[in-house]
Amino acid sequence: MRSAQTPGRLSLALQRRPEDVFEPGFVADAPLVCFVAYAEQRRIFGWVRLQADRLTDLLNAHDELVLTDVELEGLVDGVTRVEDEVVMRCRDLIAVHASGPRGADARRRRTRTQPIAVQSGSFLIGGLLHAPVGVNPMTDFHARLPMVPLTDAWIEFWSGGRRRLDLWTGTLIVNRDRADVVRPVTENDLAEGLLRPTELGERTPVA
């Protein structure tokens, strides 16, 4: 992972296939992992080498995300196209997924988990929120910086009352500022696919 020289911009150089380079003496400086950014009715994806930095912290510290050599999929029509470069404002992201190295042991703290559902436009996201022991998880969620990680997470895209995308992602970083509805749910709701989008005209306020 490398940052652009321009202040406020985070640059990630992606590649379109997961093959490693096989050359004498070649040693990769970081593992190659799948990266997916979700925006309104599209997803942007590719393969990227992530260093030990925490992606959540990097997204919260930058205003724009610059992705090179990416593929974009329209979630309604299913059409995929290739772009040499895509510039996105981080505030426009719905969620970001990238498997990769865990944060440093020294930064970890005792937490308890709360299953939650997050609805952002046509996206429905479920996962486990980790909050410090003794702190209300929902209060902690809204006190953090905008990009918040959820573990054991999945994301769905709904169009015309139908589920168009249903992916389990592992850890998903959600943009709290784009959420229309945030609500606590049960672990069974998450595991058994029982959640459905809330009608936004009848929604409960974001807690």
Query: Is 89 part of a structural domain of the chain?
Result: yes
User: Among 75, 98, 121, which residue terminates a domain?
Assistant: 98
Residues 71 and 120 in one domain: no
pLDDT digits (tens, 9 = 90+) for 145-179: 999 999 999 999 987 778 888 888 889 999 999 99
Residues 14 and 82 in one domain: yes
DSSP 112-165: EEEEEEEEETTEEEEEEEEEETTS-HHHHHHHS-SEEEEEEEEEEEEETTEEEE
Residues 187 and 158 in one domain: yes
| Predicted structure pTM score | 0.83
Residues 120 and 51 in one domain: no
For residue 161, the enclosing domain spans 109-195
DSSP state of 76: T
Residues 13 and 94 in one domain: yes
How long, in residues, is the chain?
A: 207
User: Among 98, 125, 145, which residue terminates a domain?
Assistant: 98
Residues 168 and 142 in one domain: yes
pLDDT digits (tens, 9 = 90+) for 86-129: 999 999 999 999 775 554 444 556 789 999 999 999 999 999 99
